[in-house]
Structure 1
Amino acid sequence: MPESAEPIADPGLPAHEWRPTDVDERQEKRAERQVAGMFGLSAICVLLFLISYFTFDIGDNHSTFAGFGASTVTLGTTFGLALLFIGIGIIQWARKLMGDHEISEMRHPARSSDEDREATLAALNAGLEESGIGRRPLVRNSLLGAVGLLGLPAVVLLRDLGPLPGDVYDDEDYPGAGLERTVWTKGMRVVRDVVGTPIRAADLEIGDLVNAVPEAFYEVDEEGEHLIEGIELQIAKSKAAVIVVRMEPDEIIPGEGRDNWAVDGVLCYSKICTHVGCPISLYERTTHHVLCPCHQSTFDLADSARVVFGPAARALPQLPLAVDDEGYLVAQSDFTEPVGPSYWERG
């Protein structure tokens, strides 16, 4: 074989260069304090996040900073810095304190032998040892404290998504608050969505389906301002929207205790699918089935909105109906069960 075809000799590894922290104990302690300091700054930023959350006002009279919402600026800045300082601390730890020995490993078959597995576990244990996490309590404890505090902003922000099930609020502050209530009350008229006109039972034809809402959405005060508007209106509408259908009275199979919930074949159900909360209104008058367009859950409106197909596990909640002195449809009460998709406390 020609000499040029010979394999290139293994050049080997260059001589290892020790880092200052490897040979100087003072440099090592200094780096350790730097890493712990980064984790400490992260913890401080989390505390500042919580202080900012409860200090700065939001809404119509929100606090400002340099022309921007102070709450948004401070929350974003403090939480971002908390993550940044943890990242810097980990990088500094890896560069200056963790093991810095060059290693080489021969390639091996895809299937590992028992000896290889044992060697892998040994290497992992060696890595843990070289990281120094066991013998550097200052770094370890400061990291655990900083990472642990990062859970607090998540708890605060998740709690801010809305009221918990069963919470009781003043209707003047939060109409229909809680997952188990809506704005429907006894005697409240059922009105057409968008236009707000009341619905007379006698005006509905067999096979009609009407999208409707509570009359409370269109009530105004003495100055002509809507009593429910803005965010409160959207939240209330997301739970109180309904569909009104009319069919032949003898085709209705009333559920237990629901014999008087219909008015001459007129029924009212929640418009919110019990699967994941999509709005429904695709109606097939011959079968009395209504279809959810999101995941094809199908409900039989003639049989208490029983589920006949799809992933929904519960029937649509039914609103008991009556008529007032003028012949308009009104609610007998609020829904007798929570509307919308299931949650952890709903059977």
Structure 2
Amino acid sequence: MTAHENADATPHGDALDKIDTGSAVVTDDGFENPGFPPHKPRQTDLDPQKEKRAERQVFGWFLLSMVGSVFAIVAYFAFPITESDLGSVRLNNLFLGLGLSLGLLGIGFGAVHWARQLMSGEEIAEDRHLTRGTEATRARAVEIFKLGDEESGFSRRSLIRNSLIAALALFPLPAVFMFRDIAPKEDAVEAIAHTMWEAGTRLALDPTGTPIKADDVTIGSAFHVIPFGMDNHAHDYLDQKALAVVLLMRLPAEDLNEVEGRRGWSYDGIVAYSKICTHVGCPVALYEQHTHHLLCPCHQSTFDVTNHAAVIFGPAARPLPQLPIAVDDEGYLVAQSDFTEPIGPSFWERQNHVNNDEHVQVLGQNTEDRA
């Protein structure tokens, strides 16, 4: 190596020794916190007249919300839905929707306009603390709450505050009227306490309406059953069907563990239970023929058919109501009576609608107290 080559190699070797070859990122590339931009006052901050005008505008939005909510209530009754008249449905939905939209949009636009024009517009930063609970922290929380009230003007601006409260109070009222109108005119509890099942009513297949003979029901089978003779053209056909639908199953008679008083409610291993789950009213439509369990697909409530459909799993509060059945002279399955207790979800009033003369408790449980 020549002297010239040696002179060139030495500086490059020293430079390579000073380079951190394990990282290609320059560590000194951060920037200082620029802070918040200077606060720019709004027109409402500088001009009291414009501030007052903005306050009236917010009040106007809240007033519009109140008008919309009242209009929705009036429209619901002024444009009633008439059966078989699609025009009445369109008018009812149109004006009801307009009223509800005004009620909601008025609150939304008013709140946004209030925040943008009248509440404090300065940006602030607050360090996040991992824990809280000391007296100083709680005192600081109260202080921040009061500061927020002061900056928003909630207590000071009585016109906006009162109109907001009125708008929020009126907005849910249309829903109250609509939901109340859904309920039947008669006593709601009485309406679901009885079904179309009567003594001698034949059991029929759903949806054909064909009567069922006992010989047609084989062991392990399950049928969806409705009362024979239901008029599917009646205006309340679906409502009556929803109350009366049952599940009919047949299992070996020796597998049934029937309590005294209910031994005559089945026929040669054939039993019938309400299809309506006692939790929230979903259809119990899954039958496991090997375990003789009925399963509700909504919330997995499981009922044991061998023990009067007692609840063995899930949130249901009581067994499925049993329909007493028998066989008539022609071999058709018939109901002995209606259900002796209300079908469907448990409710507090059901204890006053249990036929105490015919109802027999199951498994020593007081079903009325459980409901």
TM-score (norm 1): 0.79
Task: Name 1:34's counterpart in structure 2.
Answer: 57
Aligned residue type for 1:274: T
Task: Find the aligned partners of 2:308 and 2:131 in 1 and give their Cα distance.
Answer: 60
Aligned: 1:194 with 2:207: yes
SS of structure 2 residue aligned to 1:290: strand
Task: Name 2:295's counterpart in structure 1.
Answer: 291
Render the CA deviation track for 1:26-71: whole Å, top value 9, x for unaligned.
Answer: 333322222112111111111110111112132312445xxx8011
**Identity over the aligned pairs, expressed in percent?**
45
Match of 1:51 among 62, 71, 74: 74
Render the CA deviation track for 1:256-290: whole Å, top value 9, x for unaligned.
Answer: 53232223432211122323433334444454333
Residues 45 and 81 in structure 1, CA contact (< 8 A), matched pair in contact too: yes
Instruction: State the shift of 1:124 in Å.
Output: 2.3
Aligned residue type for 1:316: L
Aligned residue type for 1:192: L
Task: Name 1:96's counterpart in structure 2.
Answer: 117
Task: Name 2:142's counterpart in structure 1.
Answer: 121
Flag the 1:132–1:256 CA change in 2: closer, same or farther, 3 A: farther
Task: Find the aligned partners of 1:314 and 1:9 in 2 and give their Cα distance.
Answer: 65
Paired residues in the alignment total: 322
Render the CA deviation track for 1:60-113: whole Å, top value 9, x for unaligned.
Answer: 12445xxx801111111110111111111112222222233x354464654467
SS of structure 1 residue aligned to 2:247: strand
Flag the 1:133–1:190 CA change in 2: closer, same or farther, 3 A: same
Task: Name 1:25's counterpart in structure 2.
Answer: 48
Render the CA deviation track for 1:119-161: whole Å, top value 9, x for unaligned.
Answer: 4432321120121121221111111000001121221233244
Flag the 1:239–1:12 CA change in 2: closer, same or farther, 3 A: closer
SS of structure 1 residue aligned to 2:224: strand
Residues 278 and 320 in structure 2, CA contact (< 8 A), matched pair in contact too: yes
Render the CA deviation track for 1:198-236: whole Å, top value 9, x for unaligned.
Answer: 11224433443222111142x4xxxxxx4435xx33332
Task: Name 2:258's counterpart in structure 1.
Answer: 254
Flag the 1:40–1:332 CA change in 2: closer, same or farther, 3 A: same
Task: Find the aligned partners of 2:35 and 2:167 in 1 and give their Cα distance.
Answer: 45
Instruction: State the shift of 1:314 in Å.
Output: 1.5
Aligned residue type for 2:208: V
Residues 193 and 212 in structure 1, CA contact (< 8 A), matched pair in contact too: yes
Task: Name 1:329's counterpart in structure 2.
Answer: 333
Give runs of aligned pairs for residues 176-255 of structure 1, distance below 5 A: 178-217=191-230, 219=231, 226-228=232-234, 232-255=236-259
Task: Find the aligned partners of 1:266 and 1:187 in 2 and give their Cα distance.
Answer: 17
Task: Name 1:174's counterpart in structure 2.
Answer: none
Aligned residue type for 1:233: Y
* Structure number having the greater helix percentage: 2
Match of 2:104 among 57, 80, 83: 83
Task: Find the aligned partners of 1:128 and 1:118 in 2 and give their Cα distance.
Answer: 15
Task: Find the aligned partners of 2:67 and 2:30 in 1 and give their Cα distance.
Answer: 62
Task: Find the aligned partners of 1:162 and 1:8 in 2 and give their Cα distance.
Answer: 65
Task: Find the aligned partners of 1:284 and 1:111 in 2 and give their Cα distance.
Answer: 53
Match of 1:314 among 315, 318, 329: 318
Structure 1: runs of 5 or more not aligned: 169-176, 220-225
Match of 1:140 among 155, 158, 161: 161
Residues 36 and 123 in structure 2, CA contact (< 8 A), matched pair in contact too: no
Task: Find the aligned partners of 1:294 and 1:11 in 2 and give their Cα distance.
Answer: 54
Which deviates the most, 306-315 or 188-197?
A: 306-315
Aligned residue type for 1:136: R
Residues 275 and 283 in structure 2, CA contact (< 8 A), matched pair in contact too: yes
Structure possessing the higher radius of gyration over alpha carbons? 2
Residues 209 and 229 in structure 2, CA contact (< 8 A), matched pair in contact too: no
Residues 185 and 333 in structure 1, CA contact (< 8 A), matched pair in contact too: yes
Residues 56 and 63 in structure 1, CA contact (< 8 A), matched pair in contact too: no
Residues 278 and 294 in structure 1, CA contact (< 8 A), matched pair in contact too: yes
Aligned residue type for 1:82: G
Instruction: State the shift of 1:118 in Å.
Output: 3.5
